[in-house]
Amino acid sequence: MKSTGSGSTWRTIDDWADGVGWIAHPDETMQRASHALVDGDDVWLVDPLDVDGLDELLADRGEVRGVVILLDRHKRDAEPLARRYDVPVYVPEWMDDVRDELDVPVEPIRRGLPDSSYDLHKLVDNPFWKEGYLYDESAKTLMVAEAVGTTSYFRTGGERLGVHPALRMKPPKTLKRFAPERIRVGHGDGVSTDAQSALADAIDGSRRRTPRLYAQTVRNLLS
C-alpha cells in the first residue's frame, strides 16, 4: 500500500498556473500526493513528501512560506522540509495533538493561510479523524487531503473522484457548497476538468455505490 524511503522515482501531477503536485512513489497503491500552492510570491507545501529534485521543481515558483498539514495523520515529511526551508509548519488550530507531536516551530491556522487567498474550513473533527481543507474562491481551487481522492480504492462505477471508503455512508456534503474549477487531493492525481460535476457525482452517489466499492476492494485484495 505505502512505500518508504526517499522519492527518487517520483512523477509530477497537477501542474497549473498556481501550483504543482507530485507523487513520491508512483508504484504504491496509496498514491500519496503532495502539492505546492503558489499565491503571489509565496509557496505553501501541503501534506508533502520529500523527493529528489524538489528544490529544482519549486525554484521558479516563489519562496517557500510554510508547510501545511491538513490531516492529522499526514505529517509525512513536514518536519524535515520545514527545517530545510527554515519555515514553520502550519496546522489547523483544532489539531492540538498534531502540534504537540512536531519538533519544529508550529503556527495555528485559524481562518486561512496568512496573507493568501486560501481559506481554511473544517471537514472532519472527531477522536479518530481530524481534517481541514483549503479553498481559493478567486482561483476556484479546492484542496482536500483525504475525504475524497482519485486512487483506485476511492473510486468505483465510473467515478472520476471518490469519497474515502470510511466516509462513504456519511459523505462530506459541505464540499458541495463550492464550485471549484480544479480539485487537488492527497491521494492520486487531481481533477482539472468539470471538477464541480465530478465532486457532486462523488458525493451524491457515495452511499449508493458503497457495496460495489467494498466488493471491488475485496476482489482486489484476493487477486
Which domains are delineated in the chain? 11-222 (3.60.15.10)
CA dist 162 and 43 (Å) reads: 28
Look up residue 157 and give its DSSP letter. T
What's residue 157's pLDDT? 87
Look up residue 150 and give its DSSP letter. -
CA dist 144 and 194 (Å) reads: 17
What's residue 219's pLDDT? 77
Cell for 46? 501541503
What's residue 105's pLDDT? 97
Backbone angles phi, psi at 80, to 5 degrees: -60, -35
What's residue 75's pLDDT? 95
What's residue 5's pLDDT? 56
Per-residue pLDDT of the chain (223 residues; tens, 9 = 90+): 555 555 578 999 999 999 999 999 999 989 999 999 999 999 999 999 999 999 999 999 999 999 999 999 999 999 999 999 999 999 999 998 998 899 999 999 999 999 999 999 999 999 999 999 999 999 999 999 999 999 999 999 899 999 999 999 999 999 999 999 999 999 999 999 999 999 999 999 999 999 999 888 787 776 6
